[in-house]
Amino acid sequence: MNYSVVVVDDHFLLSQAIGGLVQGFNNFKVSYLCKNGQELLDKFENPLNIPDLVLMDIKMPILNGIETTEQLRKKYPNVKVLALSIEEDEYTILKMLRAGAKGYLMKDTKKDILEEALLQVIENGHYYTNTVSQILMESLEKETDTELKEKEIEFIKLACTEMNYKQISEVMFCSYKTVEGYRDSLYKKLGIKNRIGLVLFAIHHNMFTP
């Protein structure tokens, strides 16, 4: 079976190159290319243009990848989004995952990893092993028997939102230092290094659904 893929990137030559790679993979075909999110949504008005998966850039004019992914999650929940970007900062990755992306790859990703990511997103619904956080993701793929306290679970769920740690402390009716304590304890307990890890842990263990 061939799964349909759309590449959304404002750099036309790059989107052509990515599309050419994907077209060469077994089980995948590129339906069309778009230069921004609005062009993609316009295409979706025709049901025949709705693909199985979208390879989504993040920084684009008119409608960026994060905003587009949020709209796809609400209007076309069956369409899976795999982010493909040069952005590697924690804030951007978190925003994209919260928006509903099923995986995050850097644009310098090797061809075989891109193909594996596409397959994993189609077959398993997500792909989180990538060059941005490979070590982190490997630790999350291992099942954990760690028993989490009720407050730690509450903190993890809140960490998946847009709130900063000061706002989380207010919602949890505790001090900022206490929230920092939850954070540091969980980093150590779960073997992760940053807030991205908490979000991915929550997704992996069904505590949070993008």
Instruction: Give the rounded percent of residues in the chain with a pLDDT score beyond 70.
Output: 90
Closest CA to 60 of 77, 43, 85, 81: 85
C-beta neighbour count of 160 within 10 angstroms: 22
**What's the whole-number mean pLDDT along residues 152-180?**
90
Domains, the chain, in order of start with CATH, read 3-132 (3.40.50.2300), 140-204 (1.10.10.10)
Give this prediction's pTM. Answer: 0.70
User: Which pLDDT tens digit goes with each residue over 106-133?
Assistant: 888 888 889 999 998 998 888 865 444 5
**Residue 64 — pLDDT band, cuts 50, 70, 90?**
very high
**What's the whole-number mean pLDDT along residues 80-100?**
84
**What's the whole-number mean pLDDT along residues 83-93?**
80
Distance, in Å, from the CA atom of 55 to the CA atom of 69, rounded to the nearest integer, reads: 10
Contact between 69 and 101 under an 8 Å Cβ cutoff? The reply is: yes
What integer pLDDT is reported at residue 142 of this predicted model? 47
Please spell the DSSP secondary structure of 104-149, one letter per residue: EEETT--HHHHHHHHHHHHHHS-B---TTTHHHHHHHHS---PPPP
- Length of the chain (residues): 210
Helix, strand or coil, per DSSP, at residue 185: helix
What integer pLDDT is reported at residue 4 of this predicted model? 95
